[in-house]
Chains A and B, each alone.
Chain A
Amino acid sequence: MPQSPAIQISELRFRWRSNLPEVLYIPELAVARGERIFIRGPSGSGKSTLLSLLAGVSLPSAGEVRVLGKPLSTFSGPQRDHFRSDHIGFVFQLFNLIPYLSVLENVTLPCRFSRARRDKVLKTGATLEDEALRLLEHLDMGDEALIHRPVTELSVGQQQRVATARALIGAPEIIIADEPTSALDSDMRQAFLRLLFQECEAAHSTLLFVSHDRQLEPLFEQHIALDEINSAGREGP
């Protein structure tokens, strides 16, 4: 049996309330497993909405979102929360870290909520801390002095790498990165992306990279322009 695609969307429609206009209509979208996909979405293109639908935080008004072959709308709220913590890692634009946790605690945080990801780490024979250290090392963050510094004292680039290690721990099938490089300067951006690709490949994770920075686009295998595929408001219902 062929593996189901990482993400499959058909006839997806979304509006915040039934009396408000539609903000998202995507007739068709499929992302194969292990792919690196670049989603270009200027503000107002429905980017945040799409991500919250993929994460199962919002549910479509019509149509279907399948993640790893599972139709999210058939799940209950807690089931979707479980599913998300087990299978999706997130990196946000800025301030990704919990200020009152240490670097290692921040990285291992998903394993507190997801048994599946914790077990995946422990199955390799490593402790959660070992795995966090390994990931941080791969992301050039293995320096002892850095690890023991309060997260609020790290530079933005360092914070983003800690956040990436957190998204990657326990090798979730999908990594969603929402403009993770927009606060970095362009040299840092390239370096950061290289590390991100490398780790996603090692974990066989599908990478959804959301950005409005077209310079990065050529580095990805597949590109989607959200304002082009989102036909909400362009045609009659």
Chain B
Amino acid sequence: MAILSLALKSLVNRRFTAGLIVLSIALSVALLLGVERVRVESRNSFANTISGTDLVVGARSGAINLLLYSVFRIGDATNNISWKSYQHFARNPLVAWTIPISLGDSHKGFRVLGTNQDYFRHYRYAHKHPLHLREGRPFQDVYEAVLGYQVAKKLHYRVGQKIVIAHGAGMTSFALHADKPFTVVGILDPTGTPVDRSVHVPLEGIEAIHKDWIKGRHVPGLHISAQQARKMDLTPKLITAFLVGLKSRIATFRVQTEINDYRKEPLSAILPGVALQQLWDLMSIAEHALLVVTALVVAVGLVGMLTVMLAGLNERRREMAILRSVGARPAHIMLLITGESLLLSLVGVVMGLLLLYTTLALAQPYVESHYGLYLPLGMPSTREGIMLGLVAVAGLLIGLIPGYRAYRYSLADGMSIRI
């Protein structure tokens, strides 16, 4: 349309100012979409972490807490559970399989997870994907370790390498189990879950490195060598939690009640799906707050455009008078100014998308290795599309303000030109 091509030419003529407006809108749009994408992908990533597990069992605590420390390796367990209780339920006829989990140690900031062969057999993520070794084999000996993908990648570890486990979960630890190194025997394929950032060792290994420790501290003067520990009874006495797969899902509530009512030890059995839902409910408050903030940032970007358009209007009264003299109606003038705002917002939206994808492409490896969050470069989702549409519509509506003022000016000024 004639007027819109005029609007475009007028913007190109003022490309510096127009560029700044586009930049501010693009930045705010990229922020809005970036927050949205991180939100959706962190949800997906959480939802994909555990699959096919019917119950998660740990010491009595809140469902969210138990889920976070046992499955997502976030935070610490309130208490441990006894091996006897674990054995009791592992033998339950309704239970198909169990995976014991023992946490509390780390290697260079990565959590060490004590477990057994069942972990590699039964653990499922995303859509019932089993774990797959890209290199080596599962651990068999006491002092063997299988690394998650990111651990091996970040620390440049290979099969055959010896690693030392540190006591506690901190990034730097002064309490090292230096006398009992582990040999890397396998490296897992990437999963996009906390598994990638875990070091997996046998429960017996965890037991062995703590033989000369009591209550979380090394006993001075007591030293049990790796070989001596081998000969001792390495059956764990305590574990942190265990995952349960049932023969039939119908039995879920029956087994859950049985575990929760267990008299010998206070235990909690939770349904991971239900706990995740509770987690979402909790997080949605923060998510909404974040969304409101980013929406406000977009509003600030658009108000910036409004300011520039209104400020420029007075200088453009001559231009409007010339347009009026060649036959433009006040409505045309309004369309010209509003059209400019619309074009600015549209270009801002497109540039914002480009900015988002560039940032995602650059940040992807870093975010994945540091936060275990995979940010895909997929097409905008429907929700993101709606957000972009809303930004464009908001730009149009805001453009009506200077548009209307220009309309009033051109009605009042007519063709008399004021310099």
Binding site for B on A (CB under 8 A): 48, 51-52, 55, 57-58, 77-78, 81-82, 84-86, 90, 92-101, 105, 109-110, 112-114, 166
Contact = CB atoms under 8 A, between A and B. Distances in A.
Given A99-B13, A100-B13, A84 B327 contact: yes
B9 A101 contact: yes
Contact of A90 (B326, B329, B331, B419): B326
Contacts of B416: 48, 51-52
A48 B418 CA distance: 12
Contacts of B322: 92, 96-98
B324 interface: yes
30 contacts: A51-B415, A52-B416, A55-B414, A57-B415, A58-B414, A77-B330, A81-B324, A81-B327, A81-B328, A81-B329, A81-B330, A85-B327, A85-B328, A90-B326, A92-B322, A92-B417, A95-B318, A95-B417, A98-B323, A99-B13, A99-B319, A100-B9, A101-B6, A105-B9, A109-B323, A110-B327, A113-B328, A113-B332, A114-B326, A114-B327
A23 to B, nearest CB: 13
B354 interface: no
A85 B414 contact: no
Nearest to A112: B2
Contact of B414 (A57, A98, A109): A57
Nearest to B329: A81
Given A90-B326, A112-B6, A114-B326, 20 more contacts: A48-B416, A52-B415, A57-B414, A58-B414, A78-B331, A81-B329, A81-B330, A82-B327, A84-B327, A85-B327, A95-B419, A97-B322, A98-B6, A98-B319, A99-B13, A100-B14, A101-B9, A105-B9, A109-B326, A114-B327
Nearest to A117: B327
A97 B329 CA distance: 18
A166 B9 contact: no
- Give the one of B6, B325, B417 with max A CB within 10 A: B325
Given A55-B415, A96-B322, A98-B323, A78 B329 contact: yes
Interface string B1-25: 0100010011011100000000000
A84 B414 CA distance: 12
Interface of B: 2, 6, 9-10, 12-14, 318-319, 322-332, 414-417, 419
- Give the one of A95, A97, A100, A114 with max B CB within 10 A: A100
A85 B326 contact: yes
A52 B416 CA distance: 8
A87 to B, nearest CB: 10
A99 B327 CA distance: 18
B10 to A, nearest CB: 5
- Give the one of B12, B319, B326, B330 with max A CB within 10 A: B326
B10 A100 contact: yes
Contacts of B417: 92-93, 95
A77 B319 CA distance: 20
A58 B318 CA distance: 18
Contacts of B13: 99-100
Contacts of A77: 329-330
B327 to A, nearest CB: 2
Contacts of A99: 13, 319
Nearest to B410: A57
B309 to A, nearest CB: 15
